[in-house]
Structure 1
């Protein structure tokens, strides 16, 4: 990890919700943050404007390999301490046999395939000893799938976890820390207004975990308290 004043992060999917709060928390701790959004999000722009230059923004549609390649070219020469991919959609609580094929494809591409494409496209920007992390969910834990509901979302997060395991195996020798993060059930557009957690309280705990794990070898699936989530 670089010296505190020089820490650099790239957060993909930062226009709202957990990604937006993550960007603000990293900047508050002195990180310099590049944050991506699919469009010129007003909330992210406000965070950047208030950051005294610590937050800059880039436009990215994460499902586009071409845009990922273009972002890599724009950031060539940067050395990141943290690459964090935050991407998820939910299309409702349907049993899987009622899920249209197009919906299944959309959720799997966004929640599982695109985050790993992003890691592969941008991992070369991460310094040895740096961290690559993906926002996962306890919902992706097969062990803990003991209550009905949200079958497609759960499947997409389980697929994300499995693909991240394959990624970690393939790049076992790159000296980068690899993390899947379960932030808990938060009150966001995705989590809903009745979720028990406030992102302003849970995300600082997530950043504590990111900072504490920096430099640790291998892949870990951790919650916001730094506890292991069963696969």
Structure 2
């Protein structure tokens, strides 16, 4: 039977690439976009692909999406989110900037997991796009302090979710590597098409592995 994936944040760059790769591999994909504007995901609209609207920082929209998808069964919930503001020390960051990054990168994704996770089959997978920069152990150079903190918060919240929601589901925090996107910048090491196939390979390879795993796009375990 065709597997179904819900990809949150699928309008562009990494999220769009994940949705595209899953669709190419034969998955039925439901992808979300912000607002009503035309996106790259709409250009893919075809058999086995649906487009839904979601602003992930809006709790009411998350619940509304849950209502629209009620009764559906998902084999994969993939949550993609990430913003970063200026690379400055935390002492220089405004409260508004700090709050926006934390809500977008940590609180929003976990609200999605909490609300839409029950749609995932007991043997399915919930995956969230994290980052190596969320690792406390690997932070030896500093920099990008608020972004790092938001991804560490995301990882911690997922560990708490895993402790509360013990079951057969596979839970993944995935680092896509340093990718050339607006977020990663022009000096990043990987193109999107060098990262995302590995991300999807990792999702498929880890299917059925109970518990939470923090891994990268090469399916290598990362230190917390």
- 1:171 paired with 2:165, answer yes
Aligned partner of residue 78 in structure 2, secondary structure: strand
Which residue of structure 2 aligns with residue 44 of structure 1?
41
Aligned equivalent of 1:109: 103
Task: Kindly state the Cα deviation for residue 165 of structure 1 after the two structures are TM-superposed.
Answer: 0.3
Deviations 1:103-159 (A, max 9, x none): 111110110111000000101110110000100000000000001210000000000
- Give, in whole Å, the separation in 1 of the partners of 2:192 and 2:55: 24
CA distance in 2, matches of 1:208, 1:58: 25
Any idea what SS the aligned residue of 1:168 has?
A: helix
SS at match of 1:188: coil
> 1:135 maps to which residue?
129
Find the aligned partners of 2:21 and 2:221 in 1 and give their Cα distance: 23
Residue aligning to 2:196 = 203
Q: How many residues align?
A: 223
Give, in whole Å, the separation in 1 of the partners of 2:195 and 2:96: 33
CA distance in 1, matches of 2:151, 2:223: 13
| Distance (Å, rounded) in 2 between the aligned partners of 1:138 and 1:82 | 22
3-state SS, counterpart of residue 215 of structure 1: coil
2:11 aligned with 1:18, yes or no?
Answer: no
CA–CA distance in structure 1, aligned partners of residues 120 and 62 of structure 2: 15
Stretches of structure 2 lacking an aligned partner (at least 5 in a row)? none
- Mapped partners of 2:39, 2:72: distance in 1: 26
Q: State the distance in 2 between where 1:47 and 1:202 align.
A: 20
- Post-superposition CA distance 1:32-85 (Å, at most 9, x none): 00000112342111122xxx3121100001011110111011111110000000
Which stretches in structure 1 are left out of the alignment for 5+ residues? none
Corresponding residue for residue 9 of structure 1: 5
* Kept after mapping to 1: 8 A contact 2:7/2:80: yes
What's the counterpart of residue 139 of structure 2?
145
Q: Which residue of 2 aligns with 1:35?
A: 31
For the residue of structure 1 that corresponds to 2:174, the secondary structure is: strand
Return the offset for 1:18.
Answer: 0.4
Q: Is the partner of 2:156 in helix, strand or coil?
A: helix
TM-score after normalising by structure 2: 0.97
- Tell me the residue number matched to 1:214: 207
